[in-house]
């Protein structure tokens, strides 16, 4: 990976600081502290996350890279409150979520975390508009409010001509953009995307990537995007590399000297 990225030692050191940030430093949307996770295969214990720490800030588009089996999905599941770490802490918006019960974890997923998967997982019997409205209704928004917000997001993503179309009448890229709209419909502060362009051809992947980055810039989301596409990763603000259970922070070479992080 060193041929693509230059290590940022300041970021690595900053990731080890406690949640209480010094005055003048922005507070992270997401703070990960000494998180570990192991799985058992028979009598064998496999450690996939080995005391990892990091901070993710508002408006950052973060690439999460690493070979298959390196722990990327395990980390995303823990950060998304879908799984629990063996040890360590996870803070979201300054709140310690480590010991949340199932109801609390469900509530924070609904209100503060958006998910985008490699396969769009849209509801096939509903239109693009309805797929974006439904999670808002579940979260307590009125139908009028949910419809208005869904239209705004879908139009921003260039889907104004597809509002009434069901998934099987849309292209793969259009379906994935609807999935992105659905993920941010409830105005989360954290977006987690697991290979959101991995099932798309290069041209479609580029358009979906541009849509995703545009939303991050427009809304100020903090986003972690797991990807095997190093070219896309090099265009994000920062890269987190999973390697042998450890997490390393890099700034892409093309971001060096731009004044952007």
Distance CA 15, CA 11 (A): 6
Tokens of 152: 């705004």
Residue 16: inside a domain, yes or no?
yes
Task: Quote the pLDDT of residue 248.
Answer: 87
User: 97 lies in a domain?
Assistant: yes
Domain boundaries, position 53: 8-252
Asked whether residue 3 is domain-assigned, the answer is no
- Residues 48-59: tens digit of each pLDDT: 899 999 999 998
The answer to whether residue 230 sits within a structural domain is yes
Partners of 92 in beta bridges: 30, 95
Instruction: Specify the number of domains making up the chain.
Output: 1
The model carries a pTM of: 0.80
Residue 2 domain-assigned (yes or no): no
| In-domain check, residue 120 | yes
Of the listed ranges 3-7, 42-46, 238-242, the one predicted with least confidence: 3-7
Q: Residue 27: inside a domain, yes or no?
A: yes
152-181 tens-digit pLDDT:
999 888 888 889 999 999 988 889 889 989
Q: Can you read off the two tokens belonging to residue 7?
A: 């290590």
Strands (E), the chain: 5-7, 30-41, 44-56, 61-65, 87-92, 95-96, 113-116, 190-194, 222-226, 238-243, 246-252
Tell me if 259 is assigned to some domain: no
Q: What is the pLDDT of residues 104-134, one digit of tens each?
A: 998 888 889 998 887 778 999 999 999 999 9
Provide the CATH number for the domain around residue 186. 3.40.50.300
């Amino acid at each position: 990976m060193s041929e693509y990225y230059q290590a940022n030692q300041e970021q690595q050191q900053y990731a080890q600081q406690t949640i209480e940030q010094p005055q003048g430093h922005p507070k992270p949307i997401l703070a990960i502290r000494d998180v570990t996770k192991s799985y058992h295969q028979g009598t064998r214990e496999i450690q996939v996350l080995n005391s990892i720490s990091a901070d993710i800030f508002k408006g950052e588009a973060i690439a999460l890279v690493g070979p298959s089996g390196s722990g990327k999905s395990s980390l995303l599941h823990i950060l998304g409150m879908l799984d629990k770490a063996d040890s360590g802490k996870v803070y979201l918006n300054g709140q310690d979520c480590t010991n949340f019960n199932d109801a609390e974890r469900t509530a924070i997923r609904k209100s503060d975390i958006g998910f985008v998967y490699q396969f769009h997982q849209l509801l096939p019997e509903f239109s693009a508009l309805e797929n974006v409205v439904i999670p808002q209704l579940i979260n307590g928004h009125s139908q009028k409010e949910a419809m208005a917000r869904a239209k705004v997001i879908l139009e921003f993503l260039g889907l104004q001509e597809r509002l009434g179309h069901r998934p099987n009448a849309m292209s793969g890229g259009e379906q994935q953009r609807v999935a992105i709209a659905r993920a941010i419909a409830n105005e989360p502060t954290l977006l987690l995307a697991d290979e959101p362009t991995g099932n798309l051809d290069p041209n479609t992947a580029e358009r979906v990537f541009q849509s995703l980055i545009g939303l991050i810039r427009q809304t100020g989301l903090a986003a972690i995007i797991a990807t095997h596409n190093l070219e896309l990763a090099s265009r994000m603000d920062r890269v987190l590399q999973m390697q042998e259970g450890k997490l390393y922070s890099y700034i892409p070479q093309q971001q060096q000297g731009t004044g952007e992080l």
